[in-house]
Amino acid sequence: MAIAGSRLARVLAALAAGLALAVPAPASARAHGRGVPPRVHASREGSARAAGLSGAGALALRPYMGWDTYFAFGGAYSEATVLRQASELISLGLRRKGFRYVWLDVGWWQGARGAGGQISINRRQWPHGLAWLARTLHAAGLRAGIYTDAGRNGCGGAGEGSAGHYQQDVDTFAAWGFDAVKVDFCGGAEDQLIPAAAYAVFHAAIAASVPRRPMLLSICNFLQPGQYAEGRPGLGDSAFSSYMFGPSVGNSWRTNTDVGLPHHVSFSNVLRNMDADAAAPQAAGPGHWNDPDYLAPDQGMSAAQFRTQLSMWSILAAPLMISDDLSRITRASRAAVSNGEVIAIDQDPAGVQGTLLSTSGERQVWVKPLSDGSRAVALLNRGSARAPISTSAAAIGMPPGGGYVLRNVWAHTTRPSRGTISAEAAGDSTVLLRVSQTA
């Protein structure tokens, strides 16, 4: 029987407080691309035991939401850390808002394997084991995610990937009870794998998992064209092309490199990733989503800049994965990620990714059709000075006749309009509106 939310938060917090925190820090997570040979060729990973991931799309009919360790803790965290963050998800009310995945990113494992090739975890880091952790998260009404790499190594160090062990590792994750797996590409690039081929094999391994367990697959090929040298990698092996194979094998795929490093996320990188994510909106839809990277509150951006990130990720129908120490989240960041009206735009059941409608200098208008016939409209000011931004009901595709209602989902205010949609947006800010037609 599930335990009531407030009580379970107290239980998790008590468990976390009672666990030893003296865990040796894993090797520092390497910046993506550092020390990676330039050539990417075909994968030679053996075929999995079965093909096709039946019903995989049902795992993410709407963009998945949750919390990830990476920006919050880099590669240094423990069982106690994760339990404490799970407790915060509940006590802050974020689980009720839909943030349910608790994802162990790089750092959960240091690459050790047993004689039979099975993953060997650090018992000081995970004193109760990862199957126990997954069961505990499930009892809290949460889901568990884990990390690996397509290559032999991972972004955190040697041996932290699954090459040569795809089926074995997937079976291990399934036996532990994990619900999702992120597959990075640091080692994949080192091993000169072709992303589309490698991820297809991993997809098949999930389909063949023993015990049988559907798991959401997050594709994390972060490579940019020419990242290491001219033509290395080419466009076809970069993040910019993952949309071409991602929908058939994964539930999400990264559309650019990282927005930053732990505690060092810049607004310019957020805008860069937003632009890249907007390149192939037709690829996104229920079950499969373009992924511009994690939400990064309190990681270097101002409160206004983070609200813009959340606004635009919602317009883009992107997965909403918070990566922040929730025990220290600022009041402004907490208010932002708790805004149900913004979340509703991201989670709209139609699953349509919004698109750029117009640009005038640093001022942009973005539009996302919603399932009830309304439109989400983002008036984005990419500049530093306050500026007016406007469009019209006709321009955003609303039917003519009658009047319109403009709902500002950040200010929680509503005003009528005969068709003009306009507002002043401060620098680095977004006015996010929901526009509907009056009866």
- pLDDT tens-digit profile, the chain (439 residues): 344 445 555 656 565 554 433 333 333 333 343 333 223 333 333 333 333 334 677 899 999 999 999 999 999 999 999 999 999 999 999 999 999 999 999 999 999 999 999 999 999 999 999 999 999 999 999 999 999 999 999 999 999 999 999 999 999 999 999 999 999 999 999 999 999 999 999 999 999 999 999 999 999 999 999 887 788 788 999 999 999 999 999 999 999 999 999 999 999 999 999 999 999 999 999 999 999 999 999 999 999 999 999 999 999 999 999 999 999 999 999 999 999 999 999 999 999 999 999 999 999 999 999 999 999 999 999 999 999 999 999 999 999 988 999 999 999 999 999 999 999 999 999 999 999 999 7
Alpha-carbon distance values, 417 to 123, 311, 369 (Å): 61, 22, 19
User: Which residues, listed in sequence order, are joined to residue 23 by a DSSP beta bridge?
Assistant: none
Q: What is the pTM of this model?
A: 0.89
DSSP letter at 411 equals: T
CATH number of the 5-346 domain: 3.20.20.70
Helices (H) and strands (E) in the chain, counts: 13, 18
CATH 3.40.718.10 given to domain 355-437: no
Catalytic residue among 149, 179, 258, 293: 258
CB 316 within 8 A of CB 283: no
Catalytic residue among 105, 171, 184, 325: 184
Q: Do the domains spanning 5-346 and 355-437 agree at the CATH topology level?
A: no
- Select from 356, 375, 374, 373 the least CA-distant residue to 365: 356
Looking at this protein, which amino acid is placed at residue 173?
A: F
CB 310 within 8 A of CB 295: yes
Strands 65-68 and 320-322: parallel
- DSSP element (H, E) containing 413: strand 413-417
Based on the residue annotation, tell me whether 184 is a catalytic residue of this protein.
Answer: yes
Domain extents in the chain: 5-346, 355-437
